[in-house]
Structure 1
Amino acid sequence: MLEILVPCSFFLILKAVIKFLYDYLWLPLCIQHILNSQGIKGPPFRFIHGNNKEVVKMKREALTKPMGLTHDIFPQVQPHLYSWTNRYGKNYLHWNDVRAQLVISEPELVKQVLKNSEKAYPKQKPSIYVSKLVENELLLVEGEKWVRQRKLADNVFHGESLKNMIPAVIASVETMLEKWKGQEGKEIEVFGEFRLLTSLVISRTACNYP
Structure 2
Amino acid sequence: MGYLAIVLGTVSVVLISCFWKAFMHLTWRPYVITQAYRKQGVRGPAYRFWSGSLEEIRSIRRAAAELILDTHSHDITTRVLPHFAKWIAEYGETFLFWIGPQPLLCISEQEMIKQVLASKHGSYARTDPSPAAMALVGKGLTNIDGSEWARHRRVVNPAFAMDKLKSKLKLDGQLNHKDQKAMA
TM-score normalised per structure 1 = 0.74
Distance 2:38 2:163 in 1: 43
Q: What 5-or-longer segments of structure 1 have no aligned partner?
A: 182-210
Q: 1:81 to 1:173 in 2, by over 3 A?
A: same
Which residue in the other structure is 1:199 paired with?
none
Which residue in the other structure is 1:37 paired with?
39
Q: Confirm whether residue 173 of structure 1 aligns to residue 176 of structure 2.
A: yes
Q: 1:152 to 1:85 in 2, by over 3 A?
A: farther
Deviation sequence 1:101-147 (CA, Å, 0-9, x none): 01112222212222231233333222222222222210012223323
Post-superposition shift, 1:63?
A: 1.2
TM-score normalised per structure 2 = 0.83
Distance 1:51 1:65 in 2: 22
Equivalences for 1:101-140 in 2 at 5 Å? 101-140=104-143
Question: Segments of 4+ in structure 1 off by > 6 A?
Answer: none
Q: 1:149 to 1:63 in 2, by over 3 A?
A: same
Identity of aligned residues (%): 27
SS at match of 2:150: helix
Distance 1:111 1:151 in 2: 21
Q: 1:134 to 1:102 in 2, by over 3 A?
A: same
Q: 1:93 to 1:152 in 2, by over 3 A?
A: same
Distance 1:158 1:60 in 2: 45
Distance 1:114 1:151 in 2: 17
Please, which of 28, 31, 43 is the counterpart of residue 30 of structure 2?
A: 28
SS at match of 2:32: helix
Distance 1:161 1:58 in 2: 45
Indicate the RMSD between aligned Cα atoms, in angstroms: 2.3
Higher alpha-carbon deviation: 117-126 or 65-74 = 117-126
Higher relative contact order (CA 8 A, sep 6+): 2
Residues matched between the structures, number: 177
AA of the residue aligned to 2:146? G
Post-superposition shift, 1:17?
A: 1.7
Which residue in the other structure is 1:59 paired with?
61
Which residue in the other structure is 1:149 paired with?
152
Equivalences for 1:79-90 in 2 at 5 Å? 79-90=82-93
Q: 1:77 to 1:85 in 2, by over 3 A?
A: same
SS at match of 1:139: helix
AA of the residue aligned to 1:30? V
SS at match of 1:11: helix
Post-superposition shift, 1:98?
A: 0.6
Distance 1:106 1:68 in 2: 26
Please, which of 9, 18, 21 is the counterpart of residue 19 of structure 1?
A: 21
